[in-house]
Structure 1
Amino acid sequence: MKARVHVMLKDGVLDPQGEAIRHALGALGFSGVDGVRQGKVIELDLSDGTSDDEIARMCETLLANTVIESYRIERL
């Protein structure tokens, strides 16, 4: 069984890497990009029967800094 965890900075948290990407896109001639939020995707290979609660505990313990980041679990 696989799960994909999407981790993003929460709204209101400064995203300097996203801002650098937005600036670089503008410098490369891509207009109309008003904002960029950068995040990470973590793909997990899990034993069958791993519960959503167990995956959430993984996220809250290690995979996401829940003070400044939110996460979303996607089962594949």
Structure 2
Amino acid sequence: MKVIVNVRLKEGVLDPQGKAVKHALASLGFSGVEDVRVAKQIILDINGEDRDKIYADVAKMCDEILANTVIEDYEIVI
């Protein structure tokens, strides 16, 4: 089963990479961009059919290694 984990900085956490991208876009003439937040996407292929168990396992993965839950939020899409 394919599982997608989207990890992004929590609101209020500074995103220097996003600011750099916004600045680069502006220097290329894309002036309408008001803000940029950079995130990461992790795609997992997991064996099994029990969606609830897979979701719980992936949430544990996120809490332990895939996301820094102090400063990042994550979303799991199965």
The TM-score bracket by the shorter chain reads over 0.9
Query: Cα offset for 1:51?
Result: 2.3
Matched, 1:61 2:64: yes
Matched, 1:41 2:44: no
The unaligned stretches of length 5 or more in structure 1 are: none
Counterpart of 1:25 in 2: which secondary structure?
helix
How many matched pairs? 75
Distance (whole Å) between structure 2 residues aligned to residue 38 and residue 55 of structure 1: 22
Distance (whole Å) between structure 1 residues aligned to residue 62 and residue 13 of structure 2: 19
* TM-score for the superposition, normalised by structure 1: 0.95
Matched, 1:72 2:75: yes
Runs of 4+ in 1 over 3 A off after TM superposition: none
Counterpart of 1:26 in 2: which secondary structure?
helix
* TM-score for the superposition, normalised by structure 2: 0.92
The unaligned stretches of length 5 or more in structure 2 are: none
Distance (whole Å) between structure 2 residues aligned to residue 47 and residue 62 of structure 1: 20
TM-align CA RMSD = 0.8
Distance (whole Å) between structure 2 residues aligned to residue 52 and residue 74 of structure 1: 9
Percent identity between matched residues is: 55
